[in-house]
Amino acid sequence: MKSRTITLSLPVILATSVLLAACSDDDKVAGTSAPQSDARVRVAMLQPPRSGLTPLSDDAFKLSRWSTAETLIRLDALGDPQPFLATEWKQIDPKTWRFVIRKGVKFHDGTDLTVERVVQALTAATKAAPKPRILDGIAMTVEADGENAIIVRTANEDALIPNRLSSPQLAILAARAYGPDGRVIPIEAGTGPFVLKEIKGTESARLDRFENYWGEKAKLAGIDADYVPDGTARAAALRTGAADVVEAVPVSQVALLDPALVHEVPMPRTNTLYLNTKSGPLTDPGLRAAIREAIDREAIVKTVYEGRADIAAGLLGPALPWAAELRRPIPDRTQVSNPNGVEITLATFSDRAELPEVAVLLEQQLTKAGFKVKQEVRQYAHIEADALAGKFDAFILSRATVLDSGDPVAYMYSDFACAGSFNISQLCNADVDEVLRRAAALSSGPARRQAIIDAESAILATDAAIPMLHERVIQGESKRVTAAERDPRERTLITERTAIASGQQAD
């Protein structure tokens, strides 16, 4: 394979990113500072930590959203890897990558970011039990290469190693974070513009501005984060001014809020109807086509989601804006067969409150089209095994389409390849497998994105999955806050550029 070197200065990358605010060449020089204040921002988080804020779990996304733990790579708005704690990289061969580590970076405890520390942090992730989700199925070793670079080797070819290293679960922390018992405690151990000073279990966390940050210093003096699982309470905190930034405001609470405080963020999550292609009546492509044509997506969005979702044109939604630009109509769609009262079982789970409501509407629409529909709704833990075993004719699922690598190929392979581990549709199609294989072999960039859309088209042509809508999350922000991030991937929220408007201190 031809080697490829990527060398980009972080200021240039940030200037072109949709998700990240623009910087000048002077902004990201160590010691440079933007206007700062003594103001702190108050954040109401959706979920408490599950694993003590260890970065080796999903808690890593909190550390990332608070800008305290940083990774070697970060993703731009297109999902392409860009420099962060690594300044450049090269693919030496299909299984070997070399990353150059940024100089002049200090951890929050005052120690230096070194090649040895990067090797130790990444090696700890590879040996963790359980492994971080981003490393599922990946055998990876890391070693130093001189004083300023590391070598990453994988057992199998993997074009997404830079994307994987962008996962918050592979954040680089100081040596003090890693205990002999395998626990990772991130207090005063990151490299970001905010230093985590205090963890109060599942109640709250406190972060202060890190004065020795390698880039632009934070404008805020700090972050006070509270965990507020109850959606009504989160909305009340925004309405009363008790919180400045609120995660996931429930749709039911939006009408009670000032519209100026509400911001809808498209999520890489699609509500999809999976159809059984291996057994039962829907092995008939014409009947699957009949279901495709019977679904009234607009009615579902309007009735169940109160208009706060996007009608699906494909598997990938507005959270990946490039998808709509590349998507083309699918030619020669299968013709519709008359259902003639054929009976099908429509299943879903009750853990997400909107899905049983979607099932009710779908039953009405499919009955009108000529199907006889039987519903089955259980808790997810009690229905997943049957769904994966193909025991239902149709299954409604709210599915994340971009997993930890920031790339949808893993989701498509898992759900629609012959060997996919989450193949509810029981699909096994040679054309689909081939386009997925081609997409997986390409590095991030325009060619891979086009291959992904080609794979989406091949999947949709089978009518094994009928995408219905793309979900949004509602983020609340008080009027005194500026430059809070609205990130579809939920990796950033409060950054060095977030500020409190002049004269707008806490109530």
The 10s digit of each residue's pLDDT in 58-92 is: 899 999 999 999 999 999 989 999 999 999 999 99
Which of these, 406, 405, 426, lies nearest to 415 by C-alpha position? 426
Residue 345 to residue 172: CA distance in whole angstroms: 48
pLDDT of 29 strictly over 70: no
Instruction: Kindly give, in sequence order, each residue whose CB lies less than 8 Å from that of residue 289, ignoring residues fewer than 6 positions away.
Output: 333, 334, 335, 336, 337, 463
Task: Please tell me the predicted confidence (pLDDT) of residue 133.
Answer: 84
Q: Which residues pair with 86 in a beta bridge?
A: 101
Nearest CA-CA partner of 114 in 153, 172, 167: 172
Question: In the structure encoding, which two tokens stand for residue 493, read together?
Answer: 């929220």
Taking the CA atoms of the chain, what radius of gyration do you get in angstroms? Answer: 24
What totals of helices (H) and strands (E) does the chain contain, helices first?
14, 20
Burial environment of residue 378 by CB neighbours within 10 A (0 to 12, 13 to 18, 19 or more): middle
Model pLDDT for residues 148-171, shown as the tens digit of each residue: 999 999 999 999 999 999 999 999
Residue 173: is its pLDDT beyond 80? yes
Band of residue 505 on the pLDDT scale cut at 50, 70, 90: low
What is d(CA 217, CA 206) in angstroms, rounded to the nearest whole number? 18
Tens digit of each residue's pLDDT (9 = 90 or more) over 288-313: 999 999 999 999 999 999 999 999 99
Domains observed in the chain: 5-244+478-500 (3.40.190.10), 267-471 (3.10.105.10)
pLDDT in tens, 221-270: 999 999 999 999 999 999 999 999 999 999 889 999 999 999 999 999 99
385 vs 4: CA distance, rounded Å = 43
pLDDT digits (tens, 9 = 90+) for 109-151: 999 999 999 999 999 999 998 888 888 888 999 999 999 999 9
Alpha-carbon distance of 425 to 417, in angstroms, equals 10
> What is the chain's mean pLDDT, rounded?
91
**What is the reported pLDDT for 13?**
31
What is the model's pLDDT at position 241?
A: 95
User: Residue 36: which pLDDT band, with cuts at 50, 70 and 90?
Assistant: confident
**Pair of tokens at residue 102:** 């940024």
Has residue 49 got a pLDDT over 70? yes
Would the pLDDT of 11 be above 90? Answer: no
